[in-house]
A and B are shown apart, each in its own frame.
Chain A
Amino acid sequence: MYKFKLAIRYILKRPASWLAIAAVALCVFMVVVVMTVLSGLVTDIRNKNHSFIGDCIVHTKSLVGFPLYEEFMSLLEKDSSVAVTSPVITNWALISRVGSDHNRAVAIMGIDPNRHCNVTSWGDSLFYHKGNCRDAFKPLRDPNRPGVVVGIELISGRDMFGTYRHDPVPPEFELAVSCFPLTAKGTLAKMGTDLVNTKVFYFSDDSHTGLAGPDTGNIYASLEDVQMLCSMNAPQKRVSAIYIRFKDGVNINEATANVRKLWNNFSAQNAAHSELLKNVLVQSWKDYSRDEIAPLEKEQVMITVLFCMVGVITIFIIFVIFSMLVGAKTKDIGILKSFGASDVDIAYVFLTVSTLIGAIGSGLGASAGLLFLEYINRIEHFFMEHFGLALWDRSMYSIEAIPNQLNMLVLSIIIASAILACVAGALLPAMRASGKKPVETLQVTQI
């Protein structure tokens, strides 16, 4: 009982204890805020990639594509783990506004909106066709014209707050899209009377996926149109990829391995029909988007390592403060021992102080962190509005708001680590205190 009572009194009466609490609170605040923002960014990018790709992708890195995709999709859709599939063409194109000499290179995706919107969340990225994905390529002004959806950055800039401005009615303009048709062997298809590699499309919508690549350099048109423009419609129809969504509750890695097995069997059976089947890869969405996610994850690991160093600094601060506390309380140790307190009791008093400092400090730090995260976007807006200070350039990054969704597991780990760091920092001084002899600690100079 006295141990807890003394521990509380030591905290309340010693300014050094308050310094220790402040140090812990500051460290926890910093870690909570930075880890939340960083893990929020990583989660955001992961979720956006997952939404854009679906669960699994069967694809080739060759611009020529691969044939027999319809047969394989039929096979896939009979599999118990697969919910929906969508054929996709990804290629390069030159676009220019009709009447303008200016052109630019973009990535063109050919999709079947009926299928694609069931596999991915691409439909949610549309502005004028939100909730009506199947008509994505039907311009609102004239649904009979061939429509094109363009990445938002290609037609609209963002204000300082990262918001895209949209007119209530879609702008009216035509885009000439030119592709580079390739033969199945990968050589440029020769121009013939029946070969079309340029087509005029009408603006139908813009797509805001939140991913920098697609938003700044993608356009989308119907699968048939892109197949025709890339000469992937003859002699055998080809696509670049099949996007797959698995049924709910299916383990993505296991289901991807199953698709890979199915593909290996399928390509072995049809090897005689086309060499192009050999270039096809089967990957989960995570593996496919590794290039985008891995750098952020590495950054997250690096920051975590740096914060481990902050933890070491906390341990050192606590060590110094407790060494001071033990030095100041040497006489108390002697008094307690004179009246029967054991070494363990003495260590317990100081370790209780350190645990309480850790708990109070991390509680205060976490609360301040939560409060700061709650208002982080408003605070940033305030600084942007009044001083023009932004955390990052919204015209460059596709992040609208600072992520502030707290991960309770991360918070629990941070709090537990802070308390452990305090106990670790106090361990040596506490052991030193407990080992003191009563006669020495009472500073009896008289022999």
Chain B
Amino acid sequence: MSKYIIRATNVHKHYKMGSADLHVLKGVDMAVKHGEFVAITGASGSGKSTLLHILGALDRPDKGSVEFQESEITKYSWARLNKYRNSQVGFVFQFYHLLPELTVEENIMLPAMISSSMLGWIKNRKTIKARAKDLADQLGLKDRLAHKPHQLSGGERQRVAIGRALMKSPPLLLADEPTGNLDSATGNGILEILENLNRAGQTIIMVTHDLRIAGRAHRVIRLADGLIGQGQ
């Protein structure tokens, strides 16, 4: 097994903002080991979310490469990228991004439902539902399974989002400002969940602008002006 779960090498990313060309990432090199809890910090506009999206294959770099378990995802086909997003990484977003039409249980099951064919779903639905209930139990959502997202508090919504991200037991969890939309106490609860998951062996990369929150991680990567800060 490779030492690094994910490694980015010389990653560049440009954005067009009107007539201006914004060079957001200017050759980022970083690597994360199995079981690490890494925080990426930086000022607003430093490119930390862009880097997270590239690591999670939500976006492609203009230059450079990203290797996941020694396989270069920047060369993946669209179909393989879909599989990567479905089962190798799990996303937790700042604004939860739950599907409002689905219940808590269905939101948690979403990655498994996406990867199942109709027949596969019929065959495995009991196992999938049991896994979703188990996750909901662990996240304190046992009594909320039939609820819709709008019936939940912010903290509960984020816990549902974590459950969804863990549904297929991905090796890597990517969290983009997971506490950014929560009050301090609730945010603390979410961080505790992430810490517990990490203690159980889950690799986590978390983006945050808050240095105190970043301090809860094993390692902090600071992004400044599109580059990783020296000595990191």
Contacts and interface: CB of A to CB of B under 8 A. Distances in A.
Q: Do A and B bind each other?
A: yes
Interface of A: 1-2, 5-6, 9-10, 13, 331-332, 334-343, 345, 437-439, 442, 444, 446-447
Contact of B82 (A6, A342, A439): A342
Residue in B53, B85, B91, B114 whose Cβ sees the most chain A Cβ within 10 Å = B114
B65 interface: no
A10 B99 CA distance: 11
A5 B84 CA distance: 24
Nearest to B207: A446
A2 B86 CA distance: 14
B113 A446 contact: no
20 contacts: A1-B116, A5-B102, A5-B113, A6-B102, A9-B101, A13-B100, A13-B101, A331-B97, A336-B110, A337-B58, A339-B110, A339-B164, A340-B87, A439-B58, A444-B49, A446-B45, A447-B15, A447-B22, A447-B46, A447-B50
Interface string B84-128: 111100010110011111100010001101111010010000000
Contacts of B94: 446
B227 to A, nearest CB: 14
Contact of B83 (A340, A345, A442): A340
The SS class assigned to the A binding surface is helix
Contact of A340 (B85, B100, B101): B85
B93 A341 contact: no
Contact of A446 (B49, B84, B110, B164): B49
B185 interface: no
A338 B15 CA distance: 20
Contact of B86 (A6, A340, A442, A444): A340
Contact of B49 (A10, A343, A447): A447
A314 B15 CA distance: 40
B70 interface: no
B24 interface: yes
A339 B59 contact: no
Nearest to A10: B101
Contact of B24 (A5, A6, A447): A447
Nearest to A445: B49
B163 interface: no
B178 interface: no
B205 to A, nearest CB: 15
Given A6-B99, A337-B58, A340-B86, 18 more contacts: A1-B116, A1-B121, A2-B113, A2-B114, A10-B101, A13-B100, A335-B97, A335-B99, A336-B99, A337-B82, A340-B85, A341-B82, A343-B78, A442-B93, A442-B97, A444-B49, A446-B44, A447-B49
Contacts of B164: 339
B61 interface: no
Interface residues of B, number: 42
Contact of A334 (B56, B87, B97): B97
A1 B97 contact: no
Nearest to B122: A1
A337 B85 contact: yes
B155 interface: no
A15 to B, nearest CB: 14
Nearest to B93: A442
B99 A439 contact: no
Name, among B58, B79, B106, the residue most crowded by chain A CB atoms within 10 Å (CB to CB).
B58
Contacts of B53: 439, 444
B115 to A, nearest CB: 6
B93 to A, nearest CB: 7
Given A338-B85, A339-B110, A339-B114, A6 B101 contact: yes
Contacts of B85: 337-340
Contacts of B177: 446
Given A340-B111, A446-B49, A447-B47, A439 B101 contact: no
Contacts of B106: 2, 5
Contacts of A336: 99, 110, 114
Given A1-B113, A439-B59, A338 B118 contact: no
A447 B17 CA distance: 12
A331 B99 CA distance: 9
A10 to B, nearest CB: 7
A226 B67 CA distance: 103
B91 to A, nearest CB: 5
B164 to A, nearest CB: 7
Nearest to A11: B101
A442 B98 CA distance: 11
A2 B116 CA distance: 9
Given A437-B59, A447-B47, A340 B116 contact: no
A437 B56 CA distance: 13
Closest 5 CB pairs of A and B: A340-B86, A9-B101, A2-B113, A1-B121, A339-B111
A74 to B, nearest CB: 71
A262 B85 CA distance: 80
A436 to B, nearest CB: 12
A446 to B, nearest CB: 5
Contacts of A337: 58, 82, 85
Nearest to A340: B86
Contact of A338 (B44, B47, B91): B91
Interface in B10-30: 15, 22, 24
